[in-house]
């Protein structure tokens, strides 16, 4: 092909001026380079044989020499993915992922492999490490099936994690301490406020639903000068004269406000809803685009919107951190020892 291009260019050269000839030769050189690249990729694809590994609906392509290790990881990954996404994970059967071990030296991922979802792993990775990477790659495939509203609400990938005591404790601390009126009302047991704090709004003004006047003013004060530059009059009225109407006006110009409860809390809620709804829960969630998110999660869970929110809240409150209490006698004993050691320290030579 390259020879044909060059011959054509030489044939046309006799009838062209030098400038036109130079342009033509430049184009030919670019075409020749492109043709060489295509030929190289095709040759690489013919030479590189990939094994197909199936674990449930999860399909993984990998090099034959890596097959045994990747298979172990794929089996672990599938159990986790199936536990969260249920029948929704069936999409993976038609969307293979490619697992490739990165070597410290030698060839990297070939270009032809980019048509698959790439999953990369260190050459020293264990089966558990491979599983974690495959879960992330598969979750990314499934995320692409979600509409923009749902994907934005999720933020990072939704991964199949079991609720740990540490996670529940962190979310409980949020319920108690987050600077948001909606979060405080949620902690007190108001279902609508729990939904609002999680970003599951059914309408209304997020600025007034999430925050009270003091919190709105605090948010404006934390905005940079550049962000407030276009709202100088309202910003000054908000901060200097404590005009709540002006604070609201400034916050309405913010393109995106994060919901008061964190991504960790939102993912915790999502996992609880999908767990309650059974194997088809995720399919119902992604298949109801256009409806309010609170209704979509309620349909996924098979519960009312209020019940879904309050059930999640109850689980978080039930898993709150346990406080350590001392009996009165033990407390006085500890205090006595503290005083005794303090007196001994004062009598030491260092303090004379």
Same domain, 181 and 268: yes
**What pLDDT score does 293 carry?**
96
Q: Which of 290, 265, 54 is nearest to 172 (CA)?
A: 265
**What pLDDT score does 49 carry?**
84
Same domain, 186 and 280: yes
Q: How many domains does the chain have?
A: 2
Same domain, 176 and 309: yes
**What pLDDT score does 11 carry?**
45
Same domain, 71 and 198: no
Expressed as residue numbers, the domain containing 58 is 51-145
**What pLDDT score does 34 carry?**
60
In this predicted model, what pLDDT tens digit does every residue of 261-290 receive, in sequence order? 999 999 999 999 999 999 999 999 999 999
In this predicted model, what pLDDT tens digit does every residue of 245-261 receive, in sequence order? 999 999 999 988 999 99
**What pLDDT score does 312 carry?**
97
Average pLDDT in the 28-39 region? 56
Residue 274: inside a domain, yes or no?
A: yes
Q: Is the separation of the CB atoms in 308 and 334 below 8 Å? A: no
Residue 151: inside a domain, yes or no?
A: no
Same domain, 197 and 107: no
Residue 40: inside a domain, yes or no?
A: no
In this predicted model, what pLDDT tens digit does every residue of 306-345 receive, in sequence order? 999 999 999 999 999 876 444 455 555 655 655 655 555 5
Same domain, 91 and 175: no
**What pLDDT score does 102 carry?**
80
Same domain, 133 and 268: no
**What pLDDT score does 106 carry?**
54
Contacts by residues 237-246 (CB-CB < 8 Å, ≥ 24 positions apart): 242/213, 242/217, 244/213, 244/216, 244/217
Q: Is the separation of the CB atoms in 97 and 137 below 8 Å? A: yes
Residue 99: inside a domain, yes or no?
A: yes
Same domain, 170 and 314: yes
- Which spans in the chain are helix H? 2-13, 18-47, 67-85, 127-143, 148-154, 165-177, 181-187, 191-197, 206-210, 213-222, 225-228, 232-240, 244-251, 263-277, 281-286, 293-301, 305-318, 328-346
Same domain, 191 and 65: no
Residue 182: inside a domain, yes or no?
A: yes
Same domain, 174 and 309: yes
Same domain, 295 and 171: yes
Q: Decide if pLDDT at 226 tops 90.
A: no
Residue 349: inside a domain, yes or no?
A: no
Q: Are strands 58-62 and 97-102 parallel, antiparallel or unpaired?
A: parallel
**What pLDDT score does 351 carry?**
44
**What pLDDT score does 330 carry?**
52
Residue 196: inside a domain, yes or no?
A: yes
Average pLDDT in the 129-143 region? 95
* The residue count for the chain: 352
* pTM listed for this prediction: 0.76
* Half-sphere exposure in the Cβ direction for 173 (13 Å, CA): 9
Q: Decide if pLDDT at 2 tops 70.
A: no
Same domain, 169 and 314: yes
pLDDT band at 196 (very low <50, low <70, confident <90, very high): very high
Q: Please state, in angstroms and rounded to a whole number, the distance separating the CA atoms of residues 239 and 221.
A: 7
Q: Which of 93, 261, 124, 25 is nearest to 270 (CA)?
A: 261
Residue 295: inside a domain, yes or no?
A: yes
């Amino acid at each position: 092909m390259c020879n044909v291009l060059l011959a054509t260019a030489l044939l046309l050269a006799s009838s062209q001026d030098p400038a036109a000839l130079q342009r033509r030769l430049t184009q030919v050189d670019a075409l020749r380079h492109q043709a060489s690249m295509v030929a190289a990729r095709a040759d690489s694809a013919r030479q590189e044989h990939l094994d197909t590994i199936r674990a449930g609906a999860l399909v993984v392509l990998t090099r034959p020499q890596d097959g045994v290790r990747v298979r172990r990881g794929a089996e672990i990954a599938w159990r986790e993915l199936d536990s969260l996404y249920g029948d929704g994970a069936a999409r993976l059967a038609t969307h293979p992922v490619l697992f490739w071990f990165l070597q410290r030296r030698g060839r990297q991922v070939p270009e032809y492999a980019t048509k698959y979802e790439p999953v990369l792993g260190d050459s020293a990775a264990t089966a558990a490490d491979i599983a974690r990477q495959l879960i992330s790659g598969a979750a990314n495939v499934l995320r692409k099936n979600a509409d923009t509203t749902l994907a934005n609400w999720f933020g990072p990938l939704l991964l199949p994690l079991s609720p740990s005591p540490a996670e529940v404790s962190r979310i409980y601390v949020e319920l108690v301490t987050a600077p948001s009126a909606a979060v405080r009302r949620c902690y007190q047991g108001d279902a609508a406020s729990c939904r609002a704090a999680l970003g599951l709004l059914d309408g209304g003004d997020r600025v007034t639903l999430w925050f009270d006047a003091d919190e709105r003013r605090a948010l404006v004060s934390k905005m940079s000068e550049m962000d407030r530059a276009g709202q100088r009059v309202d910003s000054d009225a908000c901060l200097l004269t404590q005009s709540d109407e002006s604070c609201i006006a400034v916050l309405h110009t913010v393109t995106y406000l994060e919901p008061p409860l964190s991504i960790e809390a939102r993912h915790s809620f999502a996992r609880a809803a999908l767990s309650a709804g059974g194997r088809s829960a995720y399919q119902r969630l992604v298949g109801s685009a256009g409806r309010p998110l609170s209704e979509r999660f309620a349909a996924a869970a098979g519960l009312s919107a209020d019940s879904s929110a309050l059930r999640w809240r109850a689980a978080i409150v039930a898993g709150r951190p346990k406080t350590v209490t001392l009996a009165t006698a033990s407390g006085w004993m500890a205090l006595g020892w503290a005083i005794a050691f303090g007196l001994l320290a004062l009598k030491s030579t260092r303090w004379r």
